[in-house]
A = this chain, B = another copy of it.
């Protein structure tokens, strides 16, 4: 009977405690417009974030680098171009994650660039009103990424920071592309369309992708029909930021400079 009790308790804890978000959920901490406005203080620890997924992208407290979450491991691509693995007590001011579980795999044609890959996914997933987690594993002829340096208060807006962003050109490199395609209606909350980060197979290079060319690759897509937002309810900066303003132009500047 004691064994049965332990089993029941264990199963219930598994069911209720570990993963807080249901399957097929894009879970997000804070909003992109708060980040654009310079709300860079982390609000959610990676320990908490990992309860909502093992896959995703984002940034770090004080905007200290580009985040890649892959197979439950958090990688921090800093402005020095190197990859770090932060403590889970570190916090994030903005991140989007999910429990990655591919619905379909599509091969990537050799020579494909960023736009070709976008078109390929758009053709295979024409429903523009859901969320898609995108994981591309492959070998790249070339890839250009950027990162952002940690900021000091008073924080400048994000499009000021990215004016002087360090960029990294890599050639003949294997790795994984991690990111999302979000619907147009998340404008102001997340990035409409594609937002992809990179981490090399040896976990030494990476960043926010600016351009790329594939030698070969396979694209796995997880269709997400649930979307969850956790807002920084105790952050004064978030409370005081004007999130009614249209920051689309700032976002365009920041995403693909």
Q: A12-B12, A12-B16, A185-B189 are in contact. List 6 more A-B contacts (CB 8 A).
A: A4-B5, A8-B9, A186-B189, A227-B229, A227-B231, A228-B228
Asked, given contacts A16-B16, A226-B230, whether A243 binds B5 with beta carbons under 8 Å apart, the answer is no
CB of A101 to closest CB in B, whole Å: 14
A184 to chain B, nearest CB (A): 4
How distant is A4 from chain B, measured CB to nearest CB, in Å? 7
Q: Taking A15-B12, A185-B188 as contacts, is the C-beta distance between A233 and B239 under 8 angstroms?
A: no
CB distance from A230 to the nearest CB of B (A): 6
Which residue of B has the minimal Cβ distance to A239?
A: B127
Taking a contact as CB atoms under 8 Å apart, the answer to whether B239 and A129 are in contact is: yes
Asked if residues A20 and B22 are in contact (CB atoms below 8 Å), the reply is yes
Q: Cα distance A218–B133 when bound, in Å?
A: 45
Q: How many residues of A contact B (CB 8 A)?
A: 45
Q: A33 — which chain B residues lie within 8 A by C-beta?
A: 185
Q: Do residues A244 and B128 form an inter-chain contact, with CB atoms below 8 A?
A: yes
Q: What is the oligomeric copy number? A: 2
26 contacts between A and B (CB under 8 A): A1-B1, A8-B8, A8-B12, A11-B12, A12-B12, A16-B16, A33-B185, A34-B129, A127-B239, A128-B244, A129-B241, A129-B243, A130-B231, A131-B231, A183-B243, A185-B244, A186-B189, A187-B188, A189-B189, A225-B231, A225-B232, A225-B233, A227-B229, A227-B231, A228-B228, A228-B229
Which of A17, A131, A233, A238 counts the most B-chain CB atoms under 10 A from its CB? A233
Residues of B within 8 A of A225 (CB): 230-233
Chain B residues within an 8 Å CB radius of A238: 129
Q: Is residue A136 contacting chain B, with contact meaning CB distance below 8 A?
A: no
Contacts of A34 in B (CB 8 A): 129
A31 within 8 A of B: yes
Beta-carbon contacts of A238-257 to B below 8 Å, as 1s and 0s? 11010110000000000000
